[in-house]
Amino acid sequence: MSAAQPGPASGGPATFVNSFTLRTSPEEFEDVFARTARFMEHQPGFLGYTLVRHLEQPHSYVNIARWTDVAAFRAAVGQAAFRPHAEALRAISTSSSELYLERRSADGEAR
C-alpha cells in the first residue's frame, strides 16, 4: 500500500486495488496481511476490504479496499504507525497498486 497515489484529493468513495506476488508461503502472507487489515479497520474513513487469492496461482493475491474518500486513504497510509505494516508486506511480497474513484456499484441484493 502506498501513499504516493495519483488522483484528486476528493470526489467520493475511493477503491484501493493492490496486487501481490508472494516470496513466502500463502499462510505467512495472510498472517502479515491480517495484522495490516486490523490496523486499517481502525482508521477513519475505512469501509472494508476483500482479499482474494488466484485460483491457479496460489502466490498471487489481490486486495480491494474501500474508503469514504481519497483523503481518508491517504491519511491512513501517511501515518508513521502504518510504515511497519507496509515494510512487513514488502519484505515478503512485491506489489503494484492503484487508487480508483467509484463511479457505479451494485451490491447484488434483491430490491
Residue 18 · residue 95 · CB < 8 Å: yes
List average pLDDT for each run of 10 residues in the chain, which is 111 residues long: 45 94 98 98 98 97 97 97 98 97 78 52
Spatial distance between the Cα atoms of 20 and 22, rounded to a whole number of angstroms: 6
| Start-end of H helices in 1-111 | 26-41, 70-77, 83-92
- For residue 111, being part of any structural domain is answered with no
Residue 26: what pLDDT? 97
CATH number at 84 reads 3.30.70.100
Domain encompassing residue 37: 12-99
Dump pLDDT digits (tens) for 46-74.
999 999 999 999 999 999 999 999 999 99
Residue 8: what pLDDT? 47
* Domain total of the chain: 1
- For residue 34, being part of any structural domain is answered with yes
